Structure 1
Amino acid sequence: MTYKFGMTALLATMAASGAMAQDANTLAIVVKGLDNPFFEQINLGCQQWMAENPDSQYNCLYTGPASSSDEAGEVQIVDDLIAAGVAAIAISPSNAPAMANRIRALAPDIPIMTIDADFLPADADLRATYLGTDNYLMGVQMAEQAMALKPEGGTICLQLGNVAAANINARAQGFRDTAGGAEGLDRLTGENGWTEIEGCPVFTNDQADLANQQMSDVFTANPDLDAFILIGGWAQFAPQAYAQVTDQVMDRLQSNALIIIAGDTLPPQTQAFREMRSHAQVGQRPFEMGLRAPDVMIQLLNGETVDDPLFTGLDVCTHAEPGFCADN
């Protein structure tokens, strides 16, 4: 079940559903935006938990703003859920500092955890645990794939999401530190042969159409680019547009003159991978996040000790070892 935003609409929808009528029995999962297919996998996990636990006193509610770029809308949804008296909330903050500031101001007496994206370390005391990807490690693994394909390095462009998305920034840091061979790099400026081109990184604001336009613009302006890194899968979430963009450089992709490493392994992405429109995919496990989150929230409600963080693992696909991506 999905919702957009606003207290009136949220409460009306919850009241219309017998399963969600008891706010105190609701375990809410709030994602960055309902327009992102990655988060739909979290929703499917939430639904699977409901199917597997028909006798539970709790219900799993999946919600978020209509658009992944609506950071204020996501904060408002969390505000509304707390006011409605839900049992617990798992949040994937689009703007980690803004969400943390609101949680700190509200000081809710219900369990708060993060899922998929975490708060910044300075705000970690505001949530009980984080469930999701080790995002720094994801960046490390993306860099390892790029380095295997381009051992001498080269010119590179990183594509990121929202400026304040802590999970995406952690991946970028893991990538730069690994590729550059030093910790804390803000930018690759020749370390280990890698140089980020002028105008990069680019920020998609989690919009697939913008992501594809950025790729096209970068390829046109930099015909000798060596590597393009989709730190998240945004462009591939619009498969037709992504196919058109990569058609522009297909000869370079097939010869490995230009490599593309991308995050996530949703079906349109693995299809693109099989068509040689990327060289490696490093995938998260969003379905597992959605499936596990209600149980973690129940543990917190019961006063049980929960590990922090709770990592859900990664799946790496290369053309030498396609693994998960071969037939999914």
Structure 2
Amino acid sequence: MKKTMIMLAAAGILSAGGAAAQDKTLAIVVKGTDNPFFSVLGEGCAKWNENNAGKGYTCLYTGPASTADEAGQIQVVDDLLTKGVSAIAISPSNAPAMANLLKQRAPSIPIMTVDADLNAADSSLRQTYLGTDNYLMGVKMAEHLKALKASGGTVCLQMGNVAAANINARAQGVRDTLGGEKNIERLTGQGGWTEIAGCPLYTNDQPDLANQQMSDTFTANPELDAFVLTGGWAQFAPSAYAQVTDQVMDRLKSKDLIIVAGDTLPPQMDALKQGRSHAQIGQRPYEMGLKSPDVMLQLINGEKVADPLYTGLDECTPENVDTCLGQ
């Protein structure tokens, strides 16, 4: 608790004596500040502050230090509710756990989700969701994979953590599109695709673990046809990712092995240019950070806000790598 209070004070929510700061706070709580994806989202929040200086509100970008700290994120939200902010946009790491907190606290301020949503059964706990259509993101991953491997094959999906609703939605989009039917729990031959034993893999959003999992999978399955990173974790550690993909570069170049990955941050685009992946399906985190405060203000003012609010996707391949972003 003390650590969180210090963080809130540094962000301008509390003065040294604990009194409310002059500006009212619009808080964005991400899964972890160690994740470069969320750093870009934070840049959008900072730009909003620059654009709206002196207007009475400040965008606060915060979250636990580690993306793996689900309990820490719950504590951050709990403390924000206790200290007092005007609205909160949350990217829940553990959707059911975050829903339980909101049920317990029953906040009177507007609550929205950004980047990741609550589970559908708990959607009434927030006013809207701003971010990626995650099921569609999975669909796009699968479409690129099918275009490169029309006859199907073996595949491994790499995930974040078990309770992340956004990642689970992407995986569902991948499976349904590859398999050609809805609500596939696991690919066992549908559409010619089969998930190998030991997959999906859960990284807990840790780049080092993600790269180790990839390396182990390639070693144990030398004839694997496809590897799908539903998020960019392994690529967030570019040196380690380069070492892992060096193991299979011949297969990647010949398209005997296909890698499709989520997100389009700079090191990921470098990997695409180097032939270390075949498609990157990108979200727009900067836009999420820039737009979230405006949506929170709309909610505060009682304005009608659509639900969901999608921020779009970018589909990047070796053929369009220099022009694909921001379309």
TM (normalized to structure 2)? 0.95
The residue that corresponds to 1:288 in the other structure is 287
Distance 1:22 1:143 in 2: 48
In the TM superposition, residue 319 of structure 1 has moved relative to its aligned partner by 2.0
Distance 1:205 1:244 in 2: 21
In the TM superposition, residue 55 of structure 1 has moved relative to its aligned partner by 2.5
Distance 1:287 1:173 in 2: 25
The residue that corresponds to 1:250 in the other structure is 249
Q: What SS does the corresponding residue of 1:61 show, helix, strand or coil?
A: strand
Q: What SS does the corresponding residue of 1:292 show, helix, strand or coil?
A: helix
The 10-residue stretch of structure 1 (50-59 or 227-236) with the greater mean CA deviation from structure 2: 50-59
In the TM superposition, residue 11 of structure 1 has moved relative to its aligned partner by 3.8
> Which aligned pairs between 1:195-210 and structure 2 lie closer than 5 A?
195-210=194-209
In the TM superposition, residue 324 of structure 1 has moved relative to its aligned partner by 3.9
Is the 1:24–1:85 contact (alpha carbons within 8 Å) kept by the matching residues of 2? no
The residue that corresponds to 2:132 in the other structure is 133
Q: What SS does the corresponding residue of 2:112 show, helix, strand or coil?
A: strand
Q: What SS does the corresponding residue of 1:66 show, helix, strand or coil?
A: coil
Distance 1:92 1:175 in 2: 22
Unaligned runs of 5+ in 2: none
The residue that corresponds to 1:37 in the other structure is 36
The residue that corresponds to 2:67 in the other structure is 68
CA, structure 1 residues 159+5, in 2 after alignment: closer, same or farther (shift >3 Å)? Answer: farther
The residue that corresponds to 1:305 in the other structure is 304
Is the 2:153–2:225 contact (alpha carbons within 8 Å) kept by the matching residues of 1? yes
TM (normalized to structure 1)? 0.95
In the TM superposition, residue 24 of structure 1 has moved relative to its aligned partner by 6.9
1:104 aligns with 2:103: yes
Is the 1:23–1:86 contact (alpha carbons within 8 Å) kept by the matching residues of 2? no
Matching residue's letter, 2:9: A
The residue that corresponds to 1:317 in the other structure is 316
Matching residue's letter, 1:53: N
Identical-pair percentage: 66
Unaligned runs of 5+ in 1: none
Distance 2:264 2:216 in 1: 24
The residue that corresponds to 2:7 in the other structure is 10
Distance 1:16 1:152 in 2: 62
Distance 2:2 2:69 in 1: 10
> Which aligned pairs between 1:168-179 and structure 2 lie closer than 5 A?
168-179=167-178
> Which aligned pairs between 1:163-202 and structure 2 lie closer than 5 A?
163-202=162-201
Give CA-to-partner distance per residue, 1:35-72, whole Å, 9 cap, x none.
Answer: 10000011000000011111211000000001001000
The residue that corresponds to 1:157 in the other structure is 156
Distance 1:36 1:251 in 2: 30
The residue that corresponds to 1:228 in the other structure is 227
In the TM superposition, residue 21 of structure 1 has moved relative to its aligned partner by 5.1
Is the 2:26–2:58 contact (alpha carbons within 8 Å) kept by the matching residues of 1? yes
Is the 2:23–2:56 contact (alpha carbons within 8 Å) kept by the matching residues of 1? no
Give CA-to-partner distance per residue, 1:175-196, whole Å, 9 cap, x none.
Answer: 0000000100010001111000
1:46 aligns with 2:48: no
Q: What SS does the corresponding residue of 2:197 show, helix, strand or coil?
A: coil
Q: What SS does the corresponding residue of 1:90 show, helix, strand or coil?
A: strand
Give CA-to-partner distance per residue, 1:87-125, whole Å, 9 cap, x none.
Answer: 000000000000011001100100000000000010000
CA, structure 1 residues 77+326, in 2 after alignment: closer, same or farther (shift >3 Å)? Answer: closer
Q: What SS does the corresponding residue of 2:194 show, helix, strand or coil?
A: strand
1:123 aligns with 2:130: no
Q: What SS does the corresponding residue of 1:209 show, helix, strand or coil?
A: helix
